[in-house]
Amino acid sequence: MQYWLVKSEPDDYSFDQLRQDGRTAWDGIRNYQARNYLRDMALGDLVLYYHSRTGLEIVGVARVVRVAYPDPTATKGDWSVVDLVPVKPLTTSVSLKTIKSIPALAEIQLVKNSRLSVMPIPKEAFHLILQLGNTQT
């Protein structure tokens, strides 16, 4: 089991939207590093859902229900998507500010590389974030 984090602008596709839809293909990734991480995702992996730009906080947990396949929205190039379903929203969302203030979390790529939109999260960091969010899986 691996743990991940994906970003979305809530104005574009929010966690609430994912809950309404029940399932979505995580399409539109056009960055090689992010794409390669998508391809590393396994069935059942858990994914933190982060709202960028106008949220700046982790708001929920999702799960991988289909591993990487070709992105149907890509007209050229070699891009992939995975399918995600919502697991649950965090009871308390965990802000970027909070994450930055905690030494154990300050090294995750969310902080180190703010432009990366799909990234792995160490197991300990994942569980700490859930703890901060008063949420159990």
Partner DNA sequence: GCCAACGTTGGC
Contact call for residue 113 and DNA (CB under 7 A) = yes
Indicate the DSSP class of residue 13.
S
**Which residues 6+ apart lie within 8 Å of 95 measured at CB?**
56, 57, 58
- The yes or no reply on residue 117 touching DNA (CB under 7 A) is yes
CB of 55 to DNA, least distance (A): 8
Q: Does 114 bind DNA (CB under 7 A)?
A: yes
The pattern of x and - marking residues 34 through 53 that bind DNA according to CB under 7 A reads ------------------xx
To the nearest whole angstrom, how small is the minimum distance from the Cβ of residue 77 to DNA?
8
Which pairs count as long-range contacts for 40-46, CB under 8 Å and 24+ apart, including other chains?
A: 40/2, 40/120, 41/2, 41/4, 41/67, 41/68, 41/82, 42/1, 42/2, 42/67, 43/67, 44/1, 45/1, 45/2, 45/3, 45/4, 46/1, 46/3, 46/4, 46/87, 46/126, 46/137
Taking CB under 7 A as the criterion, the residue among 16, 23, 32, 106 binding DNA is: 32
Kindly state whether residue 65 participates in binding DNA, applying the rule CB under 7 A. no
Would you count residue 98 as binding DNA (CB under 7 A)? no
- In the complex, the smallest distance separating the C-beta of residue 71 from DNA, rounded to whole angstroms, is 14
- In angstroms, the CA 80 to CA 116 distance is 16
Does 7 participate in binding DNA (rule CB under 7 A)?
A: yes
Residues that bind DNA (CB under 7 A): 7, 9, 30-33, 52-53, 56, 96-97, 100, 110, 113-117
